[in-house]
């Protein structure tokens, strides 16, 4: 379990303080809503002074009964306002007014209003200002009725949002095309479409004193380790921050080893990935406002797997997976191996190769280490420039980069042609790693390895490998060892580490995740293709 | 925790303190790709063939280069010294780059030097790990450095060419390791390829510099570590075969029909030695199993049927046996060297008998009787079975 203390006080409502962290509490924090409508209007306008996006409207909902409506423009579905809120309210008050004399209406009879006609999913009433304000800011329409010491809150979240589109960062050839959006309800729905069991839990909490961001911890009850789920919830509850704008905020706050370069959670834009992870007993953390959903716990090998691995036939998958592992090593070691071999161990290369490298390096002014660092850093710069720039300019950058680094530098005799090959091989190799956060880690680790290789040769590389291995084996993600399957070794889990067995052999879930309930295929087909059965 | 971090920091600093002490950039290394050992009076002359990366034509290196003379891709540097290492050191003294012997392709030993014994030079190769034992060793006619500078237009370096030739010539080329192994094993004598320069084209044509060609022309025969003779002529191929070292070999068989020859190439062969011992009478059976095909028939003999093929196989056997016997006769009676490893074979197959023979093997060896058994299969007679380009009337039908 985590070392972080528990905080029983915070609930699903999250942090209720309505002000930015560090500011004194506002004077209205403790105030209650008054019966007098005028007084309430006054308070409301004071609270939301200088908020030009606020809409205030006074209406007479029944003869003699005045009401006041407040909402933030743009974040509510204004179209629903008329038909779904105002009309039923007016109708309800009219009916009550007919049934009761006007002086009696201003009583508790009005309170079950939300149960009557308003056909909206979320209707609440607030008696304190703080709740009313929170509701308004959270896409609710607040209706204050004269003589009623509470506000009706109708949640009609709306506004313009990006529709469900094909994920841009994780494209597939075979597999679903839909991706998450910035709206958490759509995202949870996309997963619920795929996993239709009441055991799929969506535990909601609110983080961020100013942003009040919805967070949903999702897991399948019975599959996910309850201790692990509690651990996640507790860690999330401990977060005290002014705003959560992206899942990265949360990832850094709750990961097991904040000082490790290795990612201990994976993020995905794809509902099918999330569903698959949930089915294996992991949990997913949805964050409102970002299409990237966090998944934990993960192992190193999982970060080397793409979701298409499970959709494509297993021969192809295995071939591609091995290519990925080969290129993982290339991405990590190729530049340092080149440095070590050309500056310390020329005797290790075949004669013709060493002579052609020597020929290419003959007029190069820099040592191999400097040359490699120069090229690798400019490659990283090129990549970064390509991402940050507007797409139209990006192309110009890549052409310039190809010309300058690829050709001109060689012709000018500043870098050698073999080094260009090494750098481009490494670049391609790092793009084969399916999860970008692991790819960037590998790219980062390349630099210390290059320095070690430049100083100590192959011995330095071995030192580096040893350090990386020691580090990686003692890492964990939510308490699950990072190298699970290999270290600690579980023979049975090798069905989905370096190879992927066909689906009819994939009998169990990873053993490090679900200790109980690990079977995922019925015994009458397990271990055999369904077509083997005599019908 | 803080202490651990501080310790980690200090340790990482220590990496930088080492200061790259073994580092040699690839352009500070002189790659020795071939070396020669010769005798000059009491001294040893060492000649190194050093690659010139500047003239190897890597991209971006056009402007640079190591100040080469002419457009050769290597240059030779030669010094005399009291030992081989000593002469190498003198070469190093006159070279701006550090000599690296790890990529030496071939080691050529001059005839004169080899006559005086090669053991003394071997120590230097084995003692330093940077001197790879994978260099191929050959004996040269005359001084070795002359061969090292011969024209090798096909390859970048003459030493590379010699290496390729030797790889072609034997199944397991003699590396320094094999050489040392054979020197130290009892019951087998060392044999090395003998290299000389041959006229490549008639005198009156061609470029003057490229008229001489490097070629393996014989077998250098050793007794212990001394060169005792060189076997030349057609039988070297068959002796090579008897040593189970032949890769492919051609036999030109006189046509059974009389005039002309039929040439057979044997592409697969396996040769085993089998000693039969009665007291001090030793008979060595050389069993040859070979498969091949006809590649030339300039006679009028028809190869079409089985009878003819059997006849041809018999003729080929006769030819092979005759040549092996001629060669073995020279080895046993003239040079007294056991390069086929008869002694080793007896040692392996009949250790008790070897215990009796080993002290007087030198006396026994010339008297070993040799029986050659052949089992030849001519499997392929090519695309035409009748002699091509002859009219049917003239064909011989037995």
Positions of chain A with pLDDT under 50 = 1-17, 107-108, 114
| The pLDDT of residue B286 | 94
**What mean pLDDT is reported for chain A?**
84
Residue A84 lies in a domain: yes
Range of the domain at A404: 310-481
Domain boundary, last residue among A481, A503, A526: A481
Residues of chain B positioned with their CB less than 8 A from the CB of A454: 20, 23
Query: How many beta-carbon contacts under 8 Å exist across A and B?
Result: 115
How far, in Å, CA of A403 to CA of A415, rounded?
13
Contact check, Cβ <8 Å, A346/B18: no
Higher-confidence residue of B246 and A274: namely A274
Contact check, Cβ <8 Å, B26/A358: yes
pLDDT tens for each residue of B90-117: 999 989 998 988 899 899 999 999 999 9
| The pLDDT of residue A471 | 94
Contact check, Cβ <8 Å, A343/B61: no
Q: Which residues contact B106 (CB under 8 A, 6 or more apart)?
A: B34, B35, B135, B136, B137, B138, B159, B162, B163, B166
Contact check, Cβ <8 Å, A452/B15: yes
Residue A442 lies in a domain: yes
Contact check, Cβ <8 Å, B156/A367: no
Residues of chain B positioned with their CB less than 8 A from the CB of A364: 27, 60
pLDDT tens for each residue of B215-237: 999 999 998 889 999 998 888 88
B185-188, long-range: CB within 8 Å, 24+ apart, which pairs?
B185/B344, B186/B343, B186/B344, B186/B347, B186/B358, B186/B361, B187/B338, B187/B341, B187/B342, B187/B343, B187/B344, B187/B345, B187/B346, B187/B347, B187/B354, B187/B358, B187/B361, B188/B338, B188/B339, B188/B340, B188/B341, B188/B343, B188/B344
Residues of chain A positioned with their CB less than 8 A from the CB of B29: 346, 358
Residue A348 lies in a domain: yes
Considering only the beta carbons, identify the residue of A354, A367, A455 that sits closest to B15. Answer: A455
Residues of chain A positioned with their CB less than 8 A from the CB of B61: 359-363, 413
Name the domain count of chain A: 2
Residue A367 lies in a domain: yes
The region, left, alpha or beta by phi > 0 then psi within -120 to 50, assigned to residue B217 is alpha
Residue A406 lies in a domain: yes
Question: Which two structure tokens, joined as six digits, stand for B6?
Answer: 């501080």
Residue A56 lies in a domain: yes
pLDDT tens for each residue of A359-403: 888 888 899 999 999 999 988 888 888 888 887 787 787 788 777
Q: At CB < 8 Å, which residues of chain A contact B?
A: 342-344, 346-347, 351, 354-364, 367-368, 410-413, 416-417, 451-452, 454-457, 460, 463
| The pLDDT of residue B64 | 41
| The pLDDT of residue A533 | 66
Considering only the beta carbons, identify the residue of A355, A412, A463 that sits closest to B31. Answer: A355
Instruction: Give the best residue of B8, B12, B16, B25 to mutate against chain A (max A CB count within 10 A).
Output: B25
Residue A128: count of CB within 10 angstroms of its CB: 17
| The pLDDT of residue A269 | 93
* Alpha carbon of residue A416 to chain centroid: 41
Residue A459 lies in a domain: yes
pLDDT tens for each residue of B288-322: 999 998 888 888 888 877 888 888 899 999 999 99
Domain boundary, last residue among A432, A459, A481: A481
Ranked by mean pLDDT, which of A14-23, B123-132, B367-376 comes out on top? B367-376
Q: Is the ipTM of this complex over 0.90?
A: no
pLDDT tens for each residue of A434-492: 999 999 999 999 999 999 999 889 999 999 999 999 999 999 999 899 999 898 888 88
Considering only the beta carbons, identify the residue of B56, B60, B66 that sits closest to A413. Answer: B60
Considering only the beta carbons, identify the residue of A351, A412, A417 that sits closest to B33. Answer: A351
| The pLDDT of residue A76 | 85
Q: Is a pLDDT exceeding 90 seen at residue B137? A: yes
Q: Could you give the 3-state DSSP secondary structure of residue B265? A: strand
Q: Tell me which chain B residue has its CA closest to the CA of residue A448.
A: B12
Instruction: Give the best residue of A337, A349, A351, A459 to mutate against chain B (max B CB count within 10 A).
Output: A351
Closest chain B C-alpha to A461 CA, distance in angstroms: 12
Domains recognised in chain B with CATH numbers? 28-232 (no CATH), 234-398 (3.30.300.210)
| The pLDDT of residue B284 | 93
Q: Could you give the 3-state DSSP secondary structure of residue A222? A: coil
Residue A184 lies in a domain: no
**What mean pLDDT is reported for chain B?**
85
Contact check, Cβ <8 Å, A361/B20: no
How far, in Å, CA of A370 to CA of A450, rounded?
10
How far, in Å, CA of A254 to CA of A231, rounded?
10
């Amino acid at each position: 379990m985590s070392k972080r203390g528990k905080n029983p006080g915070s609930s699903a409502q999250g942090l209720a303080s309505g002000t930015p962290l560090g500011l004194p509490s506002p004077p209205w924090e403790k105030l209650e809503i008054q019966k007098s409508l005028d007084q309430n209007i006054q308070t409301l306008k004071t609270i939301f002074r200088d908020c030009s996006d606020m809409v205030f409207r006074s209406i007479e909902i029944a003869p003699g009964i005045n009401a006041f409506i407040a909402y933030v423009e743009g974040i509510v579905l204004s179209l629903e306002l008329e038909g779904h809120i105002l009309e039923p309210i007016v109708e309800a008050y009219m009916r009550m007014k007919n049934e009761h004399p006007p002086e009696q209406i201003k009583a508790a009879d009005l309170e079950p209003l939300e149960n009557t006609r308003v056909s909206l999913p979320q209707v609440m009433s607030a008696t304190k200002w703080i709740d009313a304000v929170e509701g308004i800011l959270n896409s609710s329409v607040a209706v204050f009725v004269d003589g009623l010491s509470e506000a009706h809150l109708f949640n009609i979240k709306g506004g313009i949002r990006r529709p469900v589109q094909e994920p841009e960062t994780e494209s597939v050839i075979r597999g679903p095309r839909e991706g998450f959006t910035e709206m958490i309800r759509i995202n949870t729905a996309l997963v619920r479409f795929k996993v239709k069991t009441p055991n799929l839990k969506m535990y909601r909490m609110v983080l961020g004193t100013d942003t009040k961001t919805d967070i949903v911890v999702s897991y399948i009850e019975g599959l996910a380790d309850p201790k692990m789920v509690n651990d996640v919830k507790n860690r999330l509850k401990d977060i005290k921050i002014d705003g959560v704008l992206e899942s990265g905020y949360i990832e850094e706050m709750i990961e097991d080893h904040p000082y490790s370069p290795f990612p201990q959670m994976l993020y995905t834009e794809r509902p099918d990935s999330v569903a698959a992870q949930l089915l294996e007993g992991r949990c997913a953390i949805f964050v409102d406002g970002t299409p990237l959903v966090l998944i934990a716990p993960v192992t190193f090998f999982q970060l080397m797997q793409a979701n298409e691995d499970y959709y494509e036939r297993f021969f192809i998958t295995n071939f591609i997976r091995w290519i990925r592992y080969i290129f993982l090593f290339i991405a990590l070691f190729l530049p340092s191996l080149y440095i070590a071999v050309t500056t310390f161990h020329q005797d290790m290369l075949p004669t013709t190769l060493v002579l052609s490298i020597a020929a290419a390096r003959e007029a190069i002014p820099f040592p191999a280490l400097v040359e490699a660092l120069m090229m690798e850093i400019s490659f990283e710069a090129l990549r970064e420039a390509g991402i940050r720039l507007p797409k139209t300019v990006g192309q110009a950058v890549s052409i310039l980069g190809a010309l300058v680094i690829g050709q001109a530098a060689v012709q000018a005799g500043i870098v050698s042609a073999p080094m260009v090959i090494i750098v481009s091989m490494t670049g391609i190799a790092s793009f084969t790693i399916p999860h970008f956060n692991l790819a960037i880690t590998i790219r980062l680790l390349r630099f210390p390895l290059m320095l070690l290789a430049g100083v100590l040769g192959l011995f330095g590389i071995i030192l580096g490998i040893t350090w990386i291995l020691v580090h990686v084996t003692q890492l964990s993600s939510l308490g699950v060892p990072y190298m699970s399957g290999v270290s600690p070794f579980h023979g049975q889990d090798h069905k989905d580490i370096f190879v992927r067995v066909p689906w009819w052999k994939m009998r169990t879930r990873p053993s490090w995740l679900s200790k109980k309930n690990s079977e995922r295929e019925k015994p009458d087909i397990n271990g055999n293709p369904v077509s083997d059965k005599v019908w | 925790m803080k202490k651990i971090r501080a310790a980690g920091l200090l340790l990482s600093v220590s990496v930088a303190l080492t200061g790259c002490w073994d580092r040699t950039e690839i352009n500070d290394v002189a790659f020795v790709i071939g070396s020669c050992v010769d005798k000059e009076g009491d001294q040893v002359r060492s000649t190194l063939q050093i690659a010139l990366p500047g003239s190897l034509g890597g991209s971006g290196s056009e402007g640079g280069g190591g100040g080469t003379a002419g457009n050769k891709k290597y240059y030779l540097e030669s010094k005399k010294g009291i030992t081989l290492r000593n002469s190498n050191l003198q070469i190093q003294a006159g070279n701006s780059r550090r000599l690296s012997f790890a990529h030496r392709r071939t080691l050529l030993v001059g005839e004169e030097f080899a006559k005086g014994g090669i053991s003394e030079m071997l120590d230097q190769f084995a003692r330093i790990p940077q001197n790879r034992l994978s260099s191929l060793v050959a004996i040269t006619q005359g001084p070795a450095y002359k061969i090292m500078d011969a024209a090798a237009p096909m390859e970048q370096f003459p030493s590379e060419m010699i290496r390729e030739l030797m790889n072609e010539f034997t199944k397991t080329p003699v590396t320094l390791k094999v050489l040392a192994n054979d020197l130290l094993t009892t019951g087998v004598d060392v044999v090395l390829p003998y290299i000389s320069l041959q006229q490549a084209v008639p005198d009156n044509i061609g470029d003057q510099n490229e008229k001489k060609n490097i070629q393996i022309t014989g077998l250098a025969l050793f007794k212990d570590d001394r060169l005792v003779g060189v076997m030349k002529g057609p039988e070297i191929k068959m002796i090579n075969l008897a040593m189970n070292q032949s890769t492919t070999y051609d036999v030109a068989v006189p046509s059974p029909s009389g005039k002309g020859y039929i040439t057979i190439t044997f592409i697969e062969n396996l040769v085993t030695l089998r000693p039969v011992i009665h007291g001090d009478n030793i008979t060595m059976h050389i069993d040859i199993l070979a498969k091949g095909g006809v590649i030339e028939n300039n006679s009028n003999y028809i190869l079409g049927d089985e009878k003819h093929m059997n006849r041809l196989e018999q003729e080929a056997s006769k030819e092979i046996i005759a040549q092996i016997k001629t060669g073995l006769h020279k080895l046993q009676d003239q040079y007294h060297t056991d390069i086929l490893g008869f002694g080793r074979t007896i040692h392996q197959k009949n250790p008790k008998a070897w215990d009796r023979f080993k002290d007087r093997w030198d006396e026994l060896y010339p008297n070993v009787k040799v029986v050659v058994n052949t089992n030849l299969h001519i499997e392929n007679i090519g695309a035409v079975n009748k002699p091509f380009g002859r009219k049917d009337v003239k064909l011989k039908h037995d």
